[in-house]
Chains A and B, each alone.
Chain A
Amino acid sequence: MAKHLGQSMRPILFRFAAGALAISLLLTGCLVGAPKYTSAPPDFEEGLKALGQKDFPLASYHFAELAKEGNPAAMNNLGVALWMVDRRDEALYWLNKAARYGNIHARDTLSRLGEAVPPADLVGRHPTQLQREASDKFVVAVVVGVLMGVTMYYASKAGRPNYNFGSNLLHNTPRMLLTPTTGKTSAGSSNTNRSTLIETWVEGINTYSGERYTGTSDSFGNVTLRPALQPGGDTYQGTLDSFGFGTLRNYSGDEIRVEQR
């Protein structure tokens, strides 16, 4: 059923993704296709040069494009360019905007023109800048998320999970760190019918008593441990959960908490 649903969803997702891509291409195509005054990228110095040459269309192009990015100096210079061609109301609009975004030249110019100087209440609050900050955070979150996902994927593929939750360390029960013993993995257990069962030789140190245990752990989490130095000592048995934690008990009912490394 789940597989059937997954297959039926695919064409919808295909169409959805294709539609979204088509819209984005259409919109970005419109942007690319819209003719501009010059194909040169906006540049502050080029704008100043155009302003010096009294080339209003070119200067306004550079400064307007930079003003879109929230550049207060470009807003000020756009105001100057508009003033140069006697478009005073529009010039004052941009000088006011530049002053509100914190440009001191605009504040000075407005003051010298006898205009009211607005408070610099928009410093660092241009939507383009705010969107860029949000976008940066989003990219960082995506990268971190992808890295975490990849790490968890490979950790799950590597056999036993390797989580180490701090809360377990607070448990009062004696704790044992269980470590697979390198090079001693054997396949095929004789005491079950599961032919795919894989047993791993493990050893553990009781962090409470310092006693060392050895034994086996199978791929279903069943663990059996005996004291390494006392072959006739109490055997501990139990099952670990999918995170590699569990409690083992001996015949007397004594418990030992296990955390698999």
Chain B
Amino acid sequence: MQYIFRFVTSIVLITLTGCASMGQMQSALNEIDQFWGSTNRKIVADKGSRTLPVSMKQAKRAVTAGVTSLGFEQILETSTSMVFKARSPNPFSEEEYEQIRIVEEPIMQAMASNHVGGFTSSFIVLSSTDTNTILNVWFESGTPTTTTAHFDFALEWINGREQSGLLLGENPPPEAVRRGADKVWQSILDNL
């Protein structure tokens, strides 16, 4: 009987671990994170800045009101910048995040499959609970009645970026950044 157990155990272990090495897993995570990082920088360059028809003081007040209404709390403020933090999936609701995840996750897994194959890539998932979203906002005064506000997003792993021997990504999916930027701006404009 023990030969049968050994055989079954071997098959299970080969099925589970024989598909990809840790190095392949890490290279998959790196490729996704680097590609998302470069894409997000372009998105933020395009969507992350707006000139508001108010003074800097009014702009900061509108940003604070708009962003906190999305579930963020302010963790830092200087004369020209503010930093906010929220537990993911903020600034999205659970439903909104699920709509993004359900479309973006297979695309992300297809990227990972180029390193680890289709089966193992299915274990790489978008987490909505283990991260904080960090929102950096900074301001530039234009005229006394105009202020340009810029922001970008980053992810912060609650239990650290290194988990189970893997260095996890710190860039959100580009589609989340696009929709997040639109939602944050809309909320700020609603509070001007």
Contacts and interface: CB of A to CB of B under 8 A. Distances in A.
Given A36-B106, A78-B110, A89-B39, A20 B13 contact: yes
Nearest to A132: B117
B175 to A, nearest CB: 7
A6 B2 contact: yes
B16 interface: yes
Nearest to A37: B102
A68 B175 CA distance: 20
A75 B113 CA distance: 12
Contacts of A70: 113, 118
A61 interface: yes
* A interface bracket (residues with beta carbon within 8 Å of B): 35 or more
Contact of A64 (B20, B98, B110, B116): B110
Contact of A16 (B9, B107, B109): B9
B131 interface: no
A43 interface: no
Interface in B65-97: none
19 contacts: A6-B2, A13-B6, A16-B5, A21-B12, A24-B12, A24-B15, A24-B16, A31-B123, A34-B105, A35-B98, A67-B113, A68-B110, A68-B122, A75-B110, A78-B110, A90-B107, A126-B113, A127-B24, A131-B19
Interface string B1-27: 110011011001111100110001000
Interface string A13-24: 110110011011
Contacts of A34: 105, 122, 125
B72 to A, nearest CB: 26
B87 to A, nearest CB: 21
A171 interface: no
B114 interface: yes
A89 B42 contact: yes
A23 B13 CA distance: 10
Contact of A89 (B15, B116, B174): B174
A40 B38 CA distance: 33
A128 interface: yes
Contact of B113 (A16, A56, A68): A68
A57 B98 CA distance: 13
Contact of B121 (A14, A17, A68): A68
A9 interface: yes
A136 B32 CA distance: 29
A127 B2 contact: no
Contact of B107 (A23, A36, A60): A60
Contacts of B106: 36-37, 60-61, 64-65, 68
Interface of A: 6, 9-10, 13-14, 16-17, 20-21, 23-24, 27, 30-31, 34-37, 56-57, 60-61, 64-65, 67-70, 75, 78, 87, 89-90, 93, 97, 126-128, 130-131, 138
B118 A93 contact: no
Nearest to A131: B117
Nearest to A58: B103
Interface residues of B, number: 40
Closest 6 A-B residue pairs measured CB to CB?
A68-B118, A64-B106, A127-B117, A67-B110, A128-B118, A68-B113
B1 to A, nearest CB: 8
Contacts of A16: 5, 9
Given A14-B5, A64-B106, A87-B174, A128 B113 contact: yes
Nearest to B108: A64
B39 A13 contact: no
Interface string B39-69: 1001000000000000000000000000000
A167 B111 CA distance: 55
Nearest to A16: B9
Contacts of A87: 174-175
Given A14-B5, A20-B9, A60-B103, A90 B110 contact: no
B9 A17 contact: yes
A253 B12 CA distance: 59
Contacts of A67: 110, 113
- Candidate in B15, B117, B123, B125 with the most chain A CB atoms within 10 angstroms: B117
